[in-house]
Amino acid sequence: MSLNSHSSNSTSLTHQHMSFSVPTVNALGSFVIPVSGSSVPVIPECVPLGMKDNIENVDFVDPAQQKISYFLGNGPSNAIKYPALTSSTELMVSPSFQVNLSGLEMFEEVQVPIILSEETSRRPRSVEAFSTSLMDYFRDVCKSVSVEREMSLDHMYIDGTLIQSQIETKPGKNSVKSVEKDLVTHSQQGKEKAVLERSQIFQISGGKELETKVIVVLGKAGMGKSILVQKICQDWSNGEFPQFEFVFWFDCKQISLPGKWYSLKDLLLDFFVKPQEGSKEIFEYILQNSTKVLLVFDGLEGLHGHENFPPCSASQPSKDLCRVKELLSGLIQKKILNGCTLLLTARTKDKVCQYVSKVDKTIEIVGFSPRQRELYITKYFEGLPSCDNALNLIKEHEYLFSHCYSPVMCRFVCFLCETILEMGDKGLPSTLTTLFLKFVQQKIMPTQTDVTDVTLVQNQENLATLACIAWYLGEKHQSAMKSDLLPSKKIKEFALKYGFFLPFAFPKYSGTGEEEFGTMFSDFVIQNFLGALHLILAEGIKDKSLIKYLSFPSKKKKPYNWLHLVPRFLAGLLFLQDDTCFCSLSNKSVKKSTKKQKMLLKYVKRLQINNLCPERLLELLHCIYETQNNYLLQHVALRLKSDLSFLGIVLTPPDVHVLSSTLKRSRKEFSLDLQNSSIDTHGLKDLVGLRNVTSFRASLSDTIRLWKYLEQTKDYELLRVSTEKFVLDPFKAKTMKDISDLSDLIEMQKMIINCVQDASGCSSYEIPAIKNLRKLEFALGPACGLQGFQKLVEILAAFPSLQHLDLDALSENGIGDEGAKSLSEVFPTLTSLETLNLSQNKITDVGAEKLATALPSLSSLTTLSLYNNSICDFGAENLAKVLPAMASLRVLDVQYNKITGVGAQQLTDSLRKCPHIKNLVMWNPTIPYGVLEHLQQLDSRISV
pLDDT at 559 over 80: no
Q: What percent of the chain is predicted at pLDDT more than 70?
A: 76
DSSP readout, 672-698?
A: EEETTS---HHHHHHHHT-TTEEEEEE
> Region 607-635: what's the mean pLDDT?
93
* pLDDT confidence of residue 727: 95
> Region 804-832: what's the mean pLDDT?
93
* pLDDT confidence of residue 555: 55
Encode pLDDT of 304-327 as tens digits. Answer: 654 555 555 555 655 678 888 888
> Region 265-290: what's the mean pLDDT?
87
pLDDT at 16 over 60: no
Residue 880 — very low, low, confident or very high, per pLDDT cuts 50/70/90? very high
Q: Which amino acid is at 280?
A: K
Q: Half-sphere exposure of 271 toward its Cβ, with a 13 Å CA cutoff?
A: 22
Q: 91: helix, coil or strand?
A: coil
Q: Which amino acid is at 787?
A: Q
Q: Which region among 112-116, 214-218, 672-676, 879-883 has the lowest average model confidence (pLDDT)? A: 112-116
Cα–Cα distance measured from residue 233 to residue 246, given in angstroms and rounded to the nearest whole number: 10
* pLDDT confidence of residue 513: 55
pLDDT at 261 over 90: no
Encode pLDDT of 165-198 as tens digits. Answer: 765 544 444 433 344 444 555 555 555 667 888 8
* Percent of the chain that is helix, strand, coil (3-state, to 5): 45, 15, 40
The sign one gets for the Cα dihedral 927, 928, 929, 935 is negative
Cα–Cα distance measured from residue 558 to residue 615, given in angstroms and rounded to the nearest whole number: 11
pLDDT at 273 over 90: no
* Beta strand pairing call for 144-146 and 150-152: antiparallel
DSSP for residue 11 = G
> Region 740-769: what's the mean pLDDT?
77
Residue 53 — very low, low, confident or very high, per pLDDT cuts 50/70/90? very low
* pLDDT confidence of residue 565: 92
Q: Which amino acid is at 365?
A: I
pLDDT at 286 over 90: yes
Q: Give this prediction's pTM.
A: 0.80
Residue 468 — very low, low, confident or very high, per pLDDT cuts 50/70/90? very high
pLDDT at 249 over 60: yes
| Closest among 7, 301, 27 to 146, alpha carbons compared | 27
Residue 599 — very low, low, confident or very high, per pLDDT cuts 50/70/90? confident
Average pLDDT, the chain: 79
Element (H, E) at 518: strand 517-521
Q: Which region among 144-148, 646-650, 916-920 has the lowest average model confidence (pLDDT)? A: 144-148
| Closest among 517, 514, 508 to 485, alpha carbons compared | 517
Cα 777 to its chain centre, rounded Å, is: 31
Measured between its terminal Cα atoms, the distance across the chain in Å is: 98
Higher pLDDT, 940 or 121: 940
Q: Report the 3 state secondary structure along 418-481.
A: HHHHHCCCCCCCCCHHHHHHHHHHHHHCCCHHHCCHHHHHHHHHHHHHHHHHHHHHHHCCCCEE
Own/partner contacts of 106-113, CB < 8 Å, gap of 24 or more, are 106/69, 106/71, 107/24, 107/32, 107/34, 107/71, 108/71, 109/21, 109/22, 109/34, 109/73, 110/22, 112/136, 112/139
Encode pLDDT of 497-552 as tens digits. Answer: 888 998 888 766 544 556 678 899 988 999 999 999 999 888 777 777 778 888 77
Contact 436, 525 (CB under 8 A): yes
| Closest among 68, 75, 19 to 48, alpha carbons compared | 68
Backbone torsions φ then ψ of 655, nearest 5 degrees: -60, -45
- Inter-CA distances, 745 with 84, 562, 840, Å: 59, 44, 29
Q: Which region among 75-89, 222-236, 729-743 has the lowest average model confidence (pLDDT)? A: 75-89
Q: Which amino acid is at 825?
A: E
Contact 99, 61 (CB under 8 A): yes
pLDDT at 245 over 90: yes
Q: Which amino acid is at 805?
A: L
> Region 808-831: what's the mean pLDDT?
93
